[in-house]
Structure 1
Amino acid sequence: MSWSDAYATARDAAKPLAAELSPVVAATGRVLATAVRCERPVPAFDNAAMDGYAVAGDGPWAVRGRVLAGSAVDGGLAPGTAVEIATGALLPDGAEAVLPYEDCRVEDDLVIGVIGARRHIRRAGDALCPGTLIAPAGRVVTATIAAAALQAGAEQVLAQRPPTVTMLVTGDEVITAGSPGPGQVRDTFTGLVTAITDRAGGRLVTSQRLPDDPAALTAALAAAVTDVIVVSGSSSAGAADHLHRLLGEATATWLVRGVACRPGHPQALAVLPDGRFVVSLPGNPYAGLVAALTLLEPLVAALAGRPPASLPTATVTGPVKLMPGGVRIVPVGPDGDLAAAGPVGLHAAAAAGSLAVLPADWADGDPAVTLVVP
């Protein structure tokens, strides 16, 4: 399958998961299933816009007390009286203006000054009235949207359920902690898959290391109760590669089975009869990163209800060996210069920040699709 078709297949393979009510802050990063609207006026009450004195009637005004933010007001203001007041504090009934400290003076408990054109009062509902749109359906809840919703009285929102992901790291040679011994390598996949899953609106539930044993992989696939199962390694046709055979025995439906790209050719996407998706990543770390950006990220984003987004493009320059009949995926820096990835390539990808997807007919200086590394 071509790289662009593989990406589109993963993007279009799933529908958003069911929506559920969620506390506003907990919904940060999730997609709104329905619009969020103002439920109470903003501000919720008349309050002072400046530190100073709230006054009623004509001056000078006799000071009758002090009102701080969060405190209750003891009665209203009669004409000719004032209370010292803090910004944001509840305005007493009868107050007609707030005289900022810098615009008045106090002598013998009398406030002396002139009410100007600006009254320095924020009236209830000046910013928002009930029913005003805070954020439409389909928006990702950001921290600012969550704060605005809380300010407007919305304690809960209806948001798409975030897809859950299980990570199965296969390989007798893989260790999860400590310094690798002879023939061993550290697990580099769990962190990458966690970051890509988070960025797409999902949640990695668990990561498990498995030996190159088909029985162990069969059991782990059966035990995973998440929406998506990611398997690193076991993706090719070697003696230790069992995933494709096991998925066939489980009567999984193949959506992608090999992609015309270098690196990352053995990547695959399948769906089990019960609806769980399986993303197969090559065991090579750089190829696995390419596959996760190609298949995992658009799949999780679709499950999370995020609207499809066009991939960015950039002008790319530099020498590269292209792949006839497919695409070469190479690290590219912010200035568009290509970097040699080498057989593993994570260091080059980390330094560059993006990957350029170069088709066989690409020429130096042409634009290309780019993938942002996590």
Structure 2
Amino acid sequence: MSPAEPWATAHVPASGDPEFAVDDALALADGRHGGGPADRPPSVPPAPTAPGTATGLPEERTGAAPSAEPAPAHRHTAASWPEARAAALRAARAVRRARPPAPRTAPLADALGSLLATPLAALADLPSFDTSAMDGWAVAGPGPWSVRGDGALAGRAAPAALEDGTAVPIATGARSPAGATAVLRSEHGRTDPQGRLHPTRTVTPGQDIRPRGQECRTGDRLLPAGTLVTPAVLGLAAAAGYDELPLLPRPTVEILILGDELLDHGLPHDGLIRDALGPMLTPWLRTLGADVVSVRRLHDDAAALREAVTGSTADVLVTTGGTAAGPEDHVRPVLLAAGAELLVDGVAVRPGHPMLLARMPADRLLLGLPGNPLAAVSGLLTLGEPVLRILAGRPAADPDAAPLADAVPGHPYDFRLVPVVYRGEEVVPLRYNGPAMLRGIAAADALAAVPPGGAKPGQDVELLDLPWSLPALCAGTTASADPDGTLDLGAPEDVSRSESSREGARRPLGPRRDPAVDVSRETSADRGSRDPKDVSRETARP
């Protein structure tokens, strides 16, 4: 077997591979990832991890000791990654059916980024009168023309009607006088000593006159319901006579940051670490269509958590940390005590396997994210994105896939989400992809979904584009609408990206990457000589 084929031995983790940390080895030994004794590999010793490395820590909380057994009060069975994403969609659709949102009205200044609740119909003709498209002269009939002394300026009343053989100076945007048959551009006319105007080029009827209603007539449907309000949409709405727009409400989200060990400012010290999720989640959730109404920090206290969970009125409550089975992991017990229904209770994906999704009383949803930063991103894109997309009425992005430039080792049973960058037609996996690390995702264009067992060089992998990447920005911006203009939130409009736009999306955006995280600067010869496992092993490097 070639050493360049790590997928061939993926079901038996290689000793020293930091991706298979202590909890993974224990899972393999006791079959926590599913399957009976017949399809479970023999017990293997835990893979060694360097003290203090991200992959030596459990994924739900930095600094907590790994536990071989779940809490005795509750034992969960992880859903597969595809099953979990489908369950999130079902949950959001059920909530939307139970509590259909009422459209809201907002002034144009506050509408950016929302979705139109109804079709945008023109309130006036565009343009609302015949206007000049150029500076020059409004002329009547064939030339030459005698030029009148008055003129037509934008924002002024139209001058007196023109008779054949006459002309009047006119500015761009000014009302065209009655009787005008064309506008002669200033650079295309000359006057003779007698003051008569002569054309230097052929003048055709209607030339450089924008007729009333050229763009639309009153009542014309300009945009369908579900259109994303962009700056251009705001301009069109204003031109068509709107001061405010009917919009779909954004789902409200409250964030609970859990943990005694978290600091909101300053440098880490004395066992305390900076909270990376608070600053990251709020803008990320907004890009997914949410209205973040509150961010609260709670200590590891079950009573305080239960009070916050049961007292929240947000459509979606997002918690960070506390989703595993440690002594201070209170999310699951609190949910069960509050009468919540666990819809997704762990997901077979790395990082992020302790993530969960619950349906609360009053048809509200709780998204439980692991505490490690990249694991939290995994949970946000696995469960949070489909939930918020449905609740916000946004369309699904076109499924995207690309071949890997390098091999990526896989987990025996779970998917792996690995930060990647686009390079031509391929994606290159980035270093620093451990569950506690953000250096890789900060430089990434997407997350690659690596199936169980790993992926070979050249193998297509599904991509989860990040909100700031071009493919995400190019995703369909219109939700599906029925002929009557009402939204069909269950099936996004078929807005496909062209192959050329996909190829363009695979070009790097912004400044050059940090060479410490960007392995794409290696030559093809370098990649060929490098052990394919080296990229994933960077998680253990200092």
Shorter-chain TM range is: over 0.9
Kindly indicate whether the alpha-carbon contact (under 8 Å) linking 1:53 and 1:85 is maintained by their aligned counterparts in 2.
Answer: yes
The corresponding residue for 2:525 is: none
Secondary structure, aligned partner of 2:443: helix
Superposed displacement of residue 32, structure 1: 2.7
Match of 2:449 among 357, 361, 373: 357
Q: In structure 2, what is the Cα distance between the partners aligned to 1:195 and 1:265? A: 23
Residue 47 of structure 1 aligns to which amino acid in structure 2?
T
The corresponding residue for 1:370 is: 463
Match of 1:201 among 289, 305, 309: 289
Superposed displacement of residue 225, structure 1: 2.3
Secondary structure, aligned partner of 1:260: strand
Match of 1:313 among 397, 401, 424: 401
The corresponding residue for 1:129 is: 217
Q: In structure 1, what is the Cα distance between the partners aligned to 2:193 and 2:157? A: 26
CA deviations 1:184-229 (Å, max 9, x no partner) are 2222112332233222211212211111112222232234322111
Kindly indicate whether the alpha-carbon contact (under 8 Å) linking 1:53 and 1:82 is maintained by their aligned counterparts in 2.
Answer: yes
The corresponding residue for 1:20 is: 104
Secondary structure, aligned partner of 1:360: coil
Secondary structure, aligned partner of 2:294: strand
The corresponding residue for 2:302 is: 214
Q: Describe how 1:166-181 pairs up with structure 2 within 5 A.
A: 166-181=254-269
CA deviations 1:205-262 (Å, max 9, x no partner) are 2211111112222232234322111100111111211111111111011111100011
Superposed displacement of residue 78, structure 1: 4.2
Superposed displacement of residue 347, structure 1: 0.3
Cα pair distance change 1:111/1:233, threshold 3 Å: farther
Superposed displacement of residue 108, structure 1: 7.1
Q: In structure 2, what is the Cα distance between the partners aligned to 1:324 and 1:262? A: 11
The corresponding residue for 1:9 is: 87
Q: Describe how 1:39-118 pairs up with structure 2 within 5 A.
A: 39-57=123-141, 59-106=144-191, 110-114=195-199, 116-117=203-204
CA deviations 1:105-164 (Å, max 9, x no partner) are 246793512361152111101121223321112332222223223222344443211111
TM-score by length of 2: 0.65
The corresponding residue for 1:290 is: 378
CA deviations 1:286-308 (Å, max 9, x no partner) are 10111111111111111001133
Bigger shift: residues 17-26 or 280-289: 17-26
Q: In structure 1, what is the Cα distance between the partners aligned to 2:408 and 2:460? A: 14
Kindly indicate whether the alpha-carbon contact (under 8 Å) linking 1:52 and 1:86 is maintained by their aligned counterparts in 2.
Answer: yes
Bigger shift: residues 102-111 or 9-18: 102-111
Q: CA RMSD in A?
A: 2.2
Q: In structure 1, what is the Cα distance between the partners aligned to 2:289 and 2:80? A: 26
The corresponding residue for 2:31 is: none
The corresponding residue for 1:338 is: 429
Secondary structure, aligned partner of 2:347: coil
Q: In structure 2, what is the Cα distance between the partners aligned to 1:188 and 1:69? A: 54
Kindly indicate whether the alpha-carbon contact (under 8 Å) linking 2:357 and 2:367 is maintained by their aligned counterparts in 1.
Answer: yes
The corresponding residue for 1:237 is: 325
Bigger shift: residues 39-48 or 337-346: 337-346
Q: In structure 2, what is the Cα distance between the partners aligned to 1:219 and 1:275? A: 18
Secondary structure, aligned partner of 2:428: coil
Kindly indicate whether the alpha-carbon contact (under 8 Å) linking 1:192 and 1:289 is maintained by their aligned counterparts in 2.
Answer: no
Kindly indicate whether the alpha-carbon contact (under 8 Å) linking 1:104 and 1:111 is maintained by their aligned counterparts in 2.
Answer: no
Superposed displacement of residue 167, structure 1: 1.0
Q: In structure 2, what is the Cα distance between the partners aligned to 1:179 and 1:61? A: 80
Q: Which runs of 5+ in 1 are unaligned?
A: none
Bigger shift: residues 347-356 or 20-29: 20-29
Kindly indicate whether the alpha-carbon contact (under 8 Å) linking 1:196 and 1:293 is maintained by their aligned counterparts in 2.
Answer: no
Q: In structure 1, what is the Cα distance between the partners aligned to 2:447 and 2:429? A: 9
Aligned residues: 374
Kindly indicate whether the alpha-carbon contact (under 8 Å) linking 1:11 and 1:308 is maintained by their aligned counterparts in 2.
Answer: no
Bigger shift: residues 92-101 or 189-198: 189-198
The corresponding residue for 1:253 is: 341
Q: In structure 2, what is the Cα distance between the partners aligned to 1:101 and 1:309? A: 49
Superposed displacement of residue 328, structure 1: 1.3
Q: In structure 1, what is the Cα distance between the partners aligned to 2:158 and 2:264? A: 61
2:468 paired with 1:347: no
Kindly indicate whether the alpha-carbon contact (under 8 Å) linking 1:24 and 1:156 is maintained by their aligned counterparts in 2.
Answer: yes
Superposed displacement of residue 310, structure 1: 4.1
Q: In structure 2, what is the Cα distance between the partners aligned to 1:70 and 1:255? A: 61
Q: In structure 2, what is the Cα distance between the partners aligned to 1:315 and 1:18? A: 43
Bigger shift: residues 140-149 or 268-277: 140-149
Kindly indicate whether the alpha-carbon contact (under 8 Å) linking 1:21 and 1:157 is maintained by their aligned counterparts in 2.
Answer: yes
Q: In structure 2, what is the Cα distance between the partners aligned to 1:372 and 1:195? A: 16
Secondary structure, aligned partner of 1:334: strand
Kindly indicate whether the alpha-carbon contact (under 8 Å) linking 2:422 and 2:445 is maintained by their aligned counterparts in 1.
Answer: yes
Residue 151 of structure 1 aligns to which amino acid in structure 2?
A
Q: In structure 2, what is the Cα distance between the partners aligned to 1:99 and 1:215? A: 79
Identity over aligned pairs, percent = 39
Cα pair distance change 1:249/1:96, threshold 3 Å: same
